[in-house]
């Protein structure tokens, strides 16, 4: 959770800059996801501080409902948007969060910006999919989400490879339900 008063929140720290400079020496950096973005000025500040990564796409992670006051400006300044549903669930009720996710997904699709959601599938010791996890993936795909980000299940879960295989199969199955032609025509309206 971020502080109630935004003030001058440092969305990217000096240590982050140093880490990125060191990584860049060995690898090309295509994307940088930055948490706690609350305004377009936050995105501009990140871009200014990451000027050495001129071809890197900045993904703005929205962790607080205050981000939505400046959503269109944030999205215009960003290369993509990530919704941190876990953090957002502390300030937005689950039923409103789902509606908000669908609305923001549609807006990002219309603006041509990728949208990412973090999901928690097969968390803990459970290595078998359940209906809730399958539904979450399928509904995300059908609503137009571009990327589903795995977190705990691949960073400290008991079977990260199995989690990736499960989500890949679920995504492939969900994508069979999409008619890209209809989606394109709906977006054109």
Model confidence, pTM: 0.83
Give me the pLDDT at residue 35, please.
Answer: 92
Per-residue burial over 106-125, b if 16 or more Cβ lie within 10 Å, else e, is ebbbeeebbbbbbbebbeee
Distances (CA, A) of 42 to 6, 48, 70: 11, 10, 11
Q: What is the CATH classification number for the domain harbouring 153?
A: 3.20.20.60
Residue 89: inside a domain: yes
Is residue 127 a part of any domain in this protein?
yes
Is the residue at 35 inside a domain? no
User: pLDDT per residue over 7-26, tens digit each?
Assistant: 455 678 899 999 999 999 99
Residue 163 lies in a domain: yes
Please give the pLDDT value at position 2.
44
Q: Does 86 map to a domain?
A: yes
SS3 category, 53: coil
Give backbone dihedrals phi and psi of 124, rounded to 5 degrees, phi first: 75, -145
Beta bridge partners of 117: 83, 148
Two tokens, residue 158: 């008991």
Q: Would 149 be classed as within a structural domain? A: yes
Give me the chain's average pLDDT, please: 84
- Cα separation, 29 vs 60, whole angstroms: 16
Is 2 among the domain residues?
A: no
Q: Is the pLDDT of residue 3 over 60?
A: no
Range of the domain at 88: 63-188
* Predicted pLDDT of residue 1: 39
The sign of the torsion formed by the CA atoms of 77, 81, 84, 88 equals positive
Task: Tell me which residue of 141, 147, 143, 145 sits closest to 173, measured CA to CA.
Answer: 141
DSSP 189: -
Q: Is residue 36 domain-resident?
A: no
**Residue 25, H or E segment:** helix 14-26
Give the model confidence (pLDDT) of 129-150 as tens digits.
677 778 888 888 888 999 988 8
Number of domains in the chain: 1
Encode pLDDT of 138-184 as tens digits.
888 888 999 988 877 776 777 788 888 888 888 888 888 887 677 66
């Amino acid at each position: 959770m971020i502080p109630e008063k935004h003030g001058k929140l440092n969305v990217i720290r000096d240590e982050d800059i140093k880490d990125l400079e060191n990584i860049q020496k060995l690898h090309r950096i295509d994307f940088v996801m930055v948490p706690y973005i609350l305004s377009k000025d936050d995105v501009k500040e990140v871009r200014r501080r990451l000027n050495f990564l001129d071809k890197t796409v900045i993904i703005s992670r929205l962790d607080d409902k205050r981000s939505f006051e400046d959503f269109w400006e944030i999205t215009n300044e960003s290369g993509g948007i990530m919704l941190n549903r876990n953090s957002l669930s502390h300030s937005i009720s689950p039923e409103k969060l789902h509606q908000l996710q669908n609305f923001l997904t549609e807006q990002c699709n219309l603006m041509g910006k990728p949208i990412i959601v973090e999901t928690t599938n097969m968390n803990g010791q459970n290595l078998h999919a359940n209906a809730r996890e399958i539904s979450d993936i399928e509904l995300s795909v059908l609503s137009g989400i571009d990327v589903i980000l795995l977190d705990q299940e691949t960073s400290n879960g008991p079977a990260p490879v199995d989690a990736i295989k499960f989500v890949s199969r679920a995504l492939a199955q969900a994508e069979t339900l999409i008619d890209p032609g209809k989606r394109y025509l709906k977006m054109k309206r």
